[in-house]
Amino acid sequence: MTRSRCSTRWSGARFARFGSSEQTRRRACRTLPVARWGLERAELVIVQDAYYPTETTRFAHVVLPGALNLEQEGTFTNSDRTISLLERVVEPPGDARPDWEWVQDVAQAMGFGAAFDCSSAGAIFREMAMMTRGRPNDQTGVDYERLRAEGPQRWPHPHTGAPRVLHEGHVFATPSGKARLFARPYVAPEEQPDARYPLVLTTGRVEAHWHTRTKTGNVERLNRIDPAPYLAMSPEDARELGLVEGARVFVKSRRGEARTVVRVTRDIGPGVVFMPMHWNDLWEAGASVNEVTTSATDPLSMEPALKRCAVAVEPFG
């Protein structure tokens, strides 16, 4: 792998992208079938993660063990703009290292040492902060030393004594001085139910688990609350399809199929089914709802429409 030739996928982006493909529609990997297609064909797959195994490490040629948040220094910025310093509590085990160290070492080995010569996580934060000068999120007055001495800081923070509230004292050019909010015109989802796929599938989270269960899946108490994946369905839809509680089913869409069990509940209305997003192939083949989700995206943000698609439910086994 050299600076002039690098056909590589290094996992870390929220939605994987590949430098070349047979079809343009495959360039952004928003569903599992397309993600597998790209990972299987990538010349080199590097996975940098604090957990093993994962779905992605199955495709990896190289696995770099990352450090958890309690095993490294870093900052956490909340949605209210508060920057908090996270200190290292324990040393990372074995060969595990902070992500920035792995990235820097690989970059230096590829000949980019001049751009990757940071000495610490604090130095990286300081470089980032200096790039915010004069911007709405100005953080030039914040560094690790200040965070250690004074505690969490809220941006904008260009200097000591900066206002704690963004746009404090600002009013809008309206008679009341308040903002006027206007609803955007409704745009129907790209994919609608039809005779072949008559149900609307929505996805989401459950109380006991987080993301793909890398942490919560190892907690016995949480697994007692939500022990396995399922498809929530109304009693009316279950009767129409001849399904009962615990029945094994295929959930099929235009893109693929998932396998799970039925949970009959009045918490969901007729015509709609729900499947949580936490389980994947590490549980069993076809357990992930993203086998069937749509690849439609928002035209501006490119956020995929993972929360709604048309499906059919069929018994198996």
211-257 pLDDT per residue, tens: 999 889 999 999 999 999 999 999 999 999 999 999 999 999 999 99
Strands across the sheet with 74-77, in order?
74-77, 82-86, 153-154
Buried b (16+ CB within 10 A) or exposed e, 161-176: ebeeeeeeeeeeeeee
In the predicted structure, residue 198 carries a pLDDT above the cut 90: yes
112-153 pLDDT per residue, tens: 999 999 999 999 999 999 999 989 899 999 999 999 999 999
| pTM, entire model | 0.79
Report the SS3 class of residue 99: helix
Assigned fold of 199-315: Barwin-like endoglucanases (2.40.40)
* Structure confidence at residue 276 (pLDDT): 97
Cα angle 212, 63, 53 (rounded to 5 degrees) comes to 35
With CA atoms as reference, report the closest residue to 10 among 95, 91, 105, 92: 105
CA distance 113 to 136: 31
* Structure confidence at residue 190 (pLDDT): 86
Side-chain half-sphere CA neighbours of 166 within 13 A? 14
> In the chain, where are the structural domains located?
8-65, 69-154, 199-315
* Structure confidence at residue 25 (pLDDT): 45
Contacts of 225 (CB under 8 A, 6+ apart): 206, 207, 208
* Structure confidence at residue 15 (pLDDT): 44
Strands across the sheet with 44-49, in order?
8-10, 44-49, 62-65
CA distance 316 to 54: 27
